[in-house]
Amino acid sequence: MSRVFWSTVWKELYQRRWSVISYSIGALLFLVLYVAIYPSFQSESANFDELLRSYPKALLEAFNIDQLQLTTIEGYVSAEHFSFVWPLLAIFFGLATAGAAIAGEVDKGTMSFMLSLPVGRIRLFIAKYFSALVSILFFTVVSITSFIPLVKIMNLSVNGSNVIKTSILSALFMWAIYCMGLLVSSIASEKSTVYFTIGGVLFAMYVVKILSGLINSLDKLKYTSIFYYYSPDKALTNGQLSVNALVVLSAIGVLCTISGLWLFKRRDVNAS
pLDDT (tens digit per residue) in 162-200: 999 999 999 999 999 999 999 999 999 899 999 999 999
Domain count, the chain: 1
According to DSSP H, which parts of the chain are helical? 3-15, 17-42, 45-53, 57-62, 73-77, 85-101, 103-108, 111-115, 121-140, 147-153, 160-185, 191-214, 232-238, 243-266
pLDDT (tens digit per residue) in 72-90: 888 888 877 888 899 999 9
pLDDT (tens digit per residue) in 1-45: 567 678 878 888 888 889 999 999 999 999 999 888 887 776 665
Confidence bin at 130 (pLDDT 50/70/90):
very high
Instruction: Count CA within 13 A, CB hemisphere, residue 97.
Output: 33
Helix, strand, or coil (residue 202) = helix
- Domain of residue 48, residue span: 3-271
Using a cut of 0.85, tell me whether the model's pTM lies above it. yes
Between 269 and 253, residue with greater pLDDT: 253
